[in-house]
Amino acid sequence: MRQTVHFGAGNIGRGFIGALFSESGYHVTFVDVAEQVINKLNEEKGYQVKLAQSQEETISIGNVSGINNMTHEDDVIEAIQQATYLTTAIGPNILPRIAPLIARGLAKRVAATDDKLYVIACENQIGATDILKQHILDNLDEETKNQLEGKVYFFNSAVDRIVPIQDQSSLDVLVEPYYEWVVETAEDIPQVTGMKMVADLAPFIERKLFTVNTGHAVIAYLGYLAGKSTIDETLADEEIVTQVRETLKETGAYLMKEYGLDEEEHLAYINKNIERFKNAYLNDGVTRVGRAPIRKLGPEDRLIRPATQAQKAGLPYTHLAKAIAAALLFDHPEDEEAMKIQEMIRETGPEGVLKTISGLSEDSDITKEVVRQYKTFQG
Ligand SMILES: NC(=O)C1=CN([C@@H]2O[C@H](COP(=O)(O)OP(=O)(O)OC[C@H]3O[C@@H](n4cnc5c(N)ncnc54)[C@H](O)[C@@H]3O)[C@@H](O)[C@H]2O)C=CC1
Ligand SMILES: O=P(O)(O)OC[C@H]1O[C@](O)(CO)[C@@H](O)[C@@H]1O
């Protein structure tokens, strides 16, 4: 049986990527620091993926096991020796932390075999696999780096499936029925059910990140400010739906200009995603979707990049500016990054945050518009 190693046995790991490998006939070894999850995977050897829809539908996932990378590094290195794929869904900020162990696994592997290994980071970040690759290379000597050539391949990817926070007492995962996994490769690679291969990922990941993730973030931050707890509850407010749609028209204008997307098709894509967000069976919290606002306000992420790109292209960005202002007001006490932003605002004002986190100068038109809207929110 073919083997795959997947870092991150969380929502996307169990509910999406690991499940697709299992369905494709692979044994999936999950690597995670969550001891309870690892123990359950080894005891139960399977779990259920439940679709969030009116008609009950459940998919049984088998052939899975787990390794704790904090306590069993050698077992992870051994699993990497046997694998055809190595994937991650761990959060972009964690990639540098797992790279040294992956590097050790790869060094041992390329010294012993020419068998090909395909590495794919499945994270919400442009070029996540390139970033992981660089961290891995930083942990290898020159000779080993040369040995990777023709043996270890790195492919960027875009992952799209809404998987909310789960009941932690079980391995089962509730997921939305829709999913899309796009992988950039020109290689003839072993088939995995549900993996779509493309020669150029840029239009796919930007369309996804600046529609699905921008839209979701706008709902989360406006919902939080309006005192809502879930995404579907927030979308019962027609004013917020309008704000989401107008924001996605702004990102859409940039995407259409940059990638020559068809206007009618793109508007249908926006509408389809707004309907996805309304799925009440997901019961998805605004604080989950708004989590990690420092990452989400990064220069290349879902709010800032479309705004800077729109500005460069002479396109409107006022609704994006409003969403950025709302993100700056996300003060959820349990979110470390949100708390850090609030501290920075107290010290340097919203302008300081936009400069340090988003790379926007204090006198930029985007900063001025965001600050104006920030003050309007404050009343
Ligand atoms: N949940 C969703 O709807 C979607 C999430 N994504 C992306 O997928 C990635 C994972 O997200 P989720 O699955 O939602 O997060 P999650 O929090 O459910 O899963 C992450 C897992 O990584 C583990 N982990 C953390 N640090 C670790 C370390 N040092 N070593 C090993 N394991 C470690 C955690 O214990 C957890 O099980 C993120 O990049 C996210 O942006 C992408 C599309 C949809
Ligand atoms: O907030 P993160 O960590 O970027 O990832 C979760 C996001 O990805 C999505 O699943 C969209 O693919 C949304 O649920 C959510 O907005």
Per DSSP, the residues of 280-317 read: GGG--BHHHHT--HHHHTSTTSTTHHHHHHHHHTT---
- Residues 167, 244: one domain? no
Phi, psi of 199 (to 5 degrees): -80, -30
Please report the pLDDT score of residue 56 as a whole number. Answer: 87
Residues 6 or more apart in contact with residue 22 via CB below 8 angstroms: 28, 61, 62, 63, 64
Q: Number of folded domains in the chain?
A: 2
- Residues 232, 312: one domain? yes
- Residues 180, 241: one domain? no
Q: What is the CATH number of the domain that holds 298?
A: 1.10.1040.10
- Residues 35, 117: one domain? yes
pTM exceeding the 0.80 threshold for the entire prediction: yes
Angstrom distance (rounded) from CA 119 to CA 51: 28
Gap from CA of 164 to ligand 2 centroid (Å)? 9
Q: What is the CATH number of the domain that holds 184?
A: 3.40.50.720
- Residues 105, 206: one domain? no
Residues 6 or more apart in contact with residue 295 via CB below 8 angstroms: 92, 93, 301, 337
The DSSP secondary-structure symbol of 235 reads T
Q: Which residue has the tokens 């003839």?
A: 188
> Which ranges of the chain have pLDDT less than 50?
none
Which ligand 2 atom sits closest to the C-alpha of 216?
A: 16
Q: Which residue has the tokens 């460069």?
A: 312
Please report the pLDDT score of residue 168 as a whole number. Answer: 86
Residue 18 lies in domain: 3-198
Please report the pLDDT score of residue 373 as a whole number. Answer: 97
- Residues 257, 282: one domain? yes
Beta strands in 2-140 (DSSP E): 3-7, 27-32, 47-51, 58-61, 64-68, 83-88, 117-121
Minimal-distance CA residue to ligand 1 atom 36: 10
Which residue from 29, 70, 87, 90 has its CB within 8 A of the most atoms of ligand 1, so it is best to mutate? 90
- Residues 267, 156: one domain? no
- Residues 189, 76: one domain? yes
Gap from CA of 221 to ligand 2 centroid (Å)? 13
Phi, psi of 191 (to 5 degrees): -70, 140
Specify the DSSP element, H or E, that contains 10.
Answer: none
